[in-house]
Structure 1
C-alpha cells in the first residue's frame, strides 16, 4: 500500500497521509511520518474550517494542521472568451 502526503507542497519535515475516514465521530485515521524510520498511526479530529461563502467547502485535513486548507490550494479555472 502506498500513502501520499496530503499536506500542501513541502520538501521535508513531517508528512501526513489519510488512511481511512472514521465517519460518525468526526475523526480519521492518519499515517504520520518523518523519513522512513519514524512512522506513526494516529486518529485525529477533522479540520472544522470551511471556505468562505454560502456553499463553503470543508477542509479535508485534520484539526490544527499547518499551512493551507485543502480548498485553498485548488487550481482556479479560467474561462477564455474569443475576442
Structure 2
C-alpha cells in the first residue's frame, strides 16, 4: 500500500519566535502523513521521540486543512515476522508501517540503484536476476 500524500504546513511554536535572533525568524515547515493511503480522515506524522518510552513519541495530527494538534502517543506494539516493530502509533487506522511504501523513496532508490549499483548491492542482485529471467 502506498503512503498517504497529505501534507500540512506546521508553523513554528510561539516560543521559538522569542528565542530567535533578530532578522532570523523561524519558518513554517511541511509534514507528510505517514499512514497508508485511504486511512480515516485524520492524518499523522511523527515529529520526535523522547527515547522509546510509552507515550514519548510526539505526533502531529490534522484533518483536511484544519488546525493541527501535537499529541504524545504510544508506539504500536505489533512486530513483523523479522521481529521489527511497527513505526506507527498504537491503534493507528492504516496497515502497519511495513505494509506502507513511499513511492517517491522507491523511485529515488531505483534511480540511484541504476546510477550507482555498487552502493545498492541488495537491489542490483535482484535486478540482475530479473534481467536474466527476461522480466
Using the size of structure 2 for normalisation, the TM-score is: 0.51
The answer to whether residue 119 in structure 2 is matched with residue 69 in structure 1 is no
Q: Which runs of 5+ in 1 are unaligned?
A: none
The 4+ residue runs of structure 1 with deviation greater than 2 A are none
Q: Which residue of 1 aligns with 2:85?
A: 58
CA 1:69–1:37: 2 relative to 1, 3 Å: same
Deviations 1:13-52 (A, max 9, x none): 1100110012141330000000222311100001110102
* Structure 2 residue runs without a partner (length 5+): 1-28, 103-122
- Aligned partner (choices 26, 29, 34) of residue 63 of structure 2: 34
Q: Aligned to 1:38, what secondary structure does the other structure show? A: coil
Taking a change above 3 Å as real, the CA distance of residues 12 and 66 of structure 1, as seen in their structure-2 partners, is: closer
| Partner residue of 1:3 out of 26, 31, 37 | 31
Residues 41-52 of structure 1: pairs in structure 2 closer than 5 A: 41-52=70-81
